[in-house]
């Protein structure tokens, strides 16, 4: 508690100094807002809960049930999509498993280190404040909880903005809205029902698989694309490389993947060879909600850039992917 207070004071002092020295009408991240971010991060990491939430994008909406069991020995999170074709994702500390009962397939993505798993906000909060201005908004009720609004306004147009609504007492995230540079909502997810607290083990049991289920393992391993002759030279301030792997995506050949992140939004670059038998690679942009996907061909390879960012960012990254035969 004392450390938090000290940090807050420090942040406040620092904030004041910056404001004073900058002398410009610049919006600064309010220190209490940053503290709220920390609280939200902590909550999504520590809490057990079951709830139903709705994801909305345009006219499309999808309802899912999520159950999380936080345990000293390891966390388990289960996501079941309730609309349409049943799908289930189970996340444990060491793997993500995606169950597709309709095709009796389990896709497995193992992690070789038991690090715990992603929540809505992770890593250094101060890092986020480099790329977003974080401020407190109003109070509002969501799913019966009194929530505090926290707004993350991007400092450039390479990323989206977010409005987060967190339970005042636990910090649990109840609603998140992604907005674009026009201030319009791109997508949102919101809990319609949430119970925080004890979750029994049987609530996070995986989908019972039987014989004939295909197991597709991604076999992801570290890679070095530069050594293979690839360069990605995009100038995207605030984004740093966080992963570089080779994995099995489509069963016939390995795909390289490089991931960049600004602490909140991530961009993945996928590079895979093209066979003459394939249809020619179509260059262009596709979109799934807040996710933009840009495809192009480089040196007989299909380059696919996937990002939770405005279209310009993924296009920019894609256009700077280059190949030179290594010596």
Partner 1 sequence: MTDRDIDRELVARAQRGDKRAFELLVQKYQRKLARLLSRFVRDPAEVEDVTQEAFIKAYRALPAFRGDSAFYTWLYRIGINTAKNYLMALGRRAPTSTEVEAEDAEGYEEAEQLRDINTPESVLLSNEIAATVNATIADLPEELRTAIQLREIEGMSYEDIARIMECPIGTVRSRIFRAREAIAERLRPLLDTGKEKRW
Partner 2 sequence: MKAKISALMDGELERHELQEPLKLLARDEDALACWRVYHLIGDAMHDRCMLSRDFGARFAERLASEPTVLAPRRSNARWERAPWLGLSAAASVAAVALVGWLALAPREAAPPLAGPVAIAPQKAVPAPTALAAAKLQGPARIPLPSATNDYLLAHQAYSSRITLQGMTPYVRTVSDEAVGSAGR
Residues numbered 60-119 forming contacts with partner 2, rule: CB under 8 A = 60, 62, 64, 66, 79, 81, 83-85, 87, 89, 96, 98, 100, 102-105, 107, 109, 111-119
Rule CB under 8 A: say whether 35 interacts with partner 2. Answer: no
Strands 145-154 and 132-142: antiparallel
Cβ partners under 8 Å of residue 86, min gap 6: 80, 101, 102
Q: CA–CA separation, 126 vs 34, rounded Å?
A: 8
Q: Which residues pair with 293 in a beta bridge?
A: 286, 306
Binding test (CB under 8 A) with partner 2, winner from 67, 148, 170, 315: 315
Binding test (CB under 8 A) with partner 2, winner from 70, 168, 242, 299: 242
Rule CB under 8 A: say whether 55 interacts with partner 1. Answer: no
Q: CA–CA separation, 101 vs 111, rounded Å?
A: 23
Rule CB under 8 A: say whether 278 interacts with partner 1. Answer: yes
Inter-residue contact 80 to 65 (CB < 8 Å): yes
Binding test (CB under 8 A) with partner 1, winner from 130, 215, 231, 288: 215
Q: CA–CA separation, 215 vs 95, rounded Å?
A: 13
Binding-site partner at residue 97 among partner 1, partner 2, none, CB < 5 to 8 Å by type: partner 1
Binding-site partner at residue 327 among partner 2, partner 1, none, CB < 5 to 8 Å by type: none
Q: Give residue 129's region: left, alpha or beta (phi > 0; psi -120 to 50).
A: alpha
Nearer to partner 2, 148 or 265 (CB): 265
Rule CB under 8 A: say whether 95 interacts with partner 1. Answer: yes
Rule CB under 8 A: say whether 245 interacts with partner 2. Answer: yes
Nearer to partner 1, 38 or 111 (CB): 111
- Using the structure block, give the residue that is written with the tokens 């189970």: 90
Binding-site partner at residue 247 among partner 1, partner 2, none, CB < 5 to 8 Å by type: partner 2
C-alpha dist (Å) from residue 9 to 15, 32, 325: 10, 10, 54
Nearer to partner 2, 2 or 236 (CB): 236
Rule CB under 8 A: say whether 46 interacts with partner 2. Answer: no
Nearer to partner 1, 183 or 222 (CB): 222
Name the token pair of 288.
């799934």
Q: What is the DSSP letter of 308?
A: S
- Taken as a whole, the chain contains a residue count of 327
Q: How far is the CB of 255 from partner 1 (least distance, A)?
A: 9
């Amino acid at each position: 508690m004392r450390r938090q207070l000290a940090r807050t004071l420090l942040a406040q002092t620092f904030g004041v100094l910056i404001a004073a020295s900058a002398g410009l009408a610049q919006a600064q991240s309010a220190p209490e807002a940053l503290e709220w971010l920390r609280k939200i991060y902590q909550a999504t990491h520590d809490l057990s809960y079951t709830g139903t939430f709705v994801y909305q994008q345009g006219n499309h909406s999808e309802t899912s049930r999520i159950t999380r069991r936080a345990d000293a020995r390891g966390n388990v999170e289960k996501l079941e999509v309730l609309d349409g074709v049943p799908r289930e994702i189970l996340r444990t500390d060491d793997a993500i498993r995606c169950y597709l009962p309709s095709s009796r397939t389990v896709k497995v993505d193992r992690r070789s280190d038991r690090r715990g798993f992603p929540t809505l906000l992770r890593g250094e909060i101060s890092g986020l404040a480099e790329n977003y201005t974080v401020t407190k908004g109003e109070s509002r009720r969501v799913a019966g909880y009194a929530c505090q609004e926290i707004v993350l306004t991007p400092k450039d147009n390479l990323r989206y903005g977010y409005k987060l609504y967190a339970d005042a007492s636990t910090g649990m995230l109840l609603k998140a809205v992604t907005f674009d540079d026009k201030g319009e909502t791109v997508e949102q997810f919101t809990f319609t029902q949430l119970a925080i607290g004890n979750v029994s083990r049987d609530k996070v049991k995986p989908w019972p698989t039987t014989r004939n289920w295909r197991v597709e393992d991604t076999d992801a391993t570290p890679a070095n694309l530069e050594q293979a002759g690839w360069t990605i030279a995009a100038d995207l301030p605030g984004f740093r490389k966080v992963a570089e792997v080779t994995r099995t995506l489509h069963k016939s050949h390995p795909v390289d993947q490089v991931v960049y992140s600004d602490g909140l939004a991530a961009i993945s670059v996928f590079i895979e060879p093209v066979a003459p038998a394939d249809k020619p690679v179509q260059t262009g942009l596709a979109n799934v909600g807040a996710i933009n996907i840009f495809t192009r061909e480089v040196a007989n390879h299909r380059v696919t850039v996937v990002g939770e960012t405005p279209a310009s960012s993924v296009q920019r990254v894609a256009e700077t992917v280059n190949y030179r035969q290594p010596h």
